[in-house]
Amino acid sequence: MKELIEFLVKALVDDPSGVNITEVQGDKITLYELRVSKEDIGKVIGKKGRTAGAIRTIINAVSTKQGKRAQLEIIE
């Protein structure tokens, strides 16, 4: 899952080396913390949060298919 998020986000940003994803395992859910450079934060969030919402939808679909739960948090 972490590789999928990394692939999607690196395709969007200008500085792929600034993408950092941290995986936090919980009891019932896995939290992915996404950090990008300040210049690219708007590209990841998108207008009215549509890009971030689309990424979250993909993550939820994949995790549900695997029988797990996942959540993406974008950290500035």
Report the alpha-carbon distance of residue 23 to residue 7 in Å, rounded: 15
Architecture of domain 2-75 in this structure? 2-Layer Sandwich (3.30)
Residue ranges per domain, the chain? 2-75
Within 13 Å and on the Cβ side, how many CA atoms surround 68?
13
The beta-carbon contacts of 21-24 under 8 Å, at least 24 apart in sequence, are none
Q: Span 58-74, mean pLDDT?
A: 94
Q: Span 56-73, mean pLDDT?
A: 95
- pLDDT recorded at residue 62: 95
- pLDDT recorded at residue 65: 94
For the stretch 13-24, pLDDT in tens is 999 999 999 999
- pLDDT recorded at residue 76: 83
Q: Which has more confidence, 76 or 65?
A: 65
